[in-house]
Copies of this chain bind each other. A is one copy, B any other.
Amino acid sequence: MSTPIRDEVNAANTAYAADFGDKGRLALPPVRGFAILTCMDARLDPARYAGLAEGDAHVIRNAGGRASDDAIRSLVISHKLLGTREWFVIHHTDCGMELFDGPTISTLLETSRATASFDGKVWTNTQDEGGSKEGWHTAWLTFTDLAQSVRDDVQRIRSHPLTPDAIPVHGFIYDVKTGRLIPVD
């Protein structure tokens, strides 16, 4: 399906590929041996804010930069199959997952189905963050305390049985007003 956006992406890609240089020789494992988990937010460009060239590091992104099971799946693959040995968790100021709480999402989703069943699981409009195990997958993973959300996700990753103890997991907040990374201890 042709759309103006698709045409723009294709045109930008044609220009990128025309100046691709020797990047086609890069191998699969990340050259610099690390991975970043961060938010999908449009203002964040992890390659630019963390200084990554193509080939350097894995970048995992979702709404909030949360340590979901899928993010942990990706980190485990990143280490076990592709050799990364250091990980970063980077959330950011003015994040939608902090601004929109459960009730807000519920209201916004009311024009969709209130509760959707898909693939044997229930997707609810209500936040179920601290609730049942079942809720983890279908929760929207909003948070109310930014620094704590980083600590929680670092801790969730560290405590996972497939995370080796030797891997440093660094927590940061990216400030969308300044472009700066602020460490979270």
Contact = CB atoms under 8 A, between A and B. Distances in A.
Interface of A: 1, 3, 5-6, 8-17, 20, 23-24, 26, 28-35, 40-45, 47-52, 54-63, 68-71, 73-74, 77-78, 80-82, 86, 88, 94, 96-97, 99-100, 105, 108-109, 112-113, 116-121, 123, 133, 136-138, 140-141, 160-162, 164, 168, 170, 176-181
A116 B69 contact: no
A1 B48 CA distance: 23
Given A1-B168, A20-B179, A80-B108, A43 B49 contact: no
A77 B10 contact: no
B41 A177 contact: no
In this complex, the member of A55, A71, A77 whose beta carbon has the largest number of chain B beta carbons within 10 angstroms is: A77
Given A6-B86, A13-B181, A60-B61, 5 more contacts: A9-B88, A17-B179, A24-B177, A73-B140, A73-B141
22 contacts: A1-B170, A12-B49, A12-B50, A30-B42, A31-B42, A35-B40, A40-B58, A40-B78, A45-B54, A60-B63, A62-B62, A68-B70, A77-B105, A80-B105, A80-B109, A81-B96, A81-B100, A82-B96, A109-B162, A113-B162, A118-B162, A123-B162
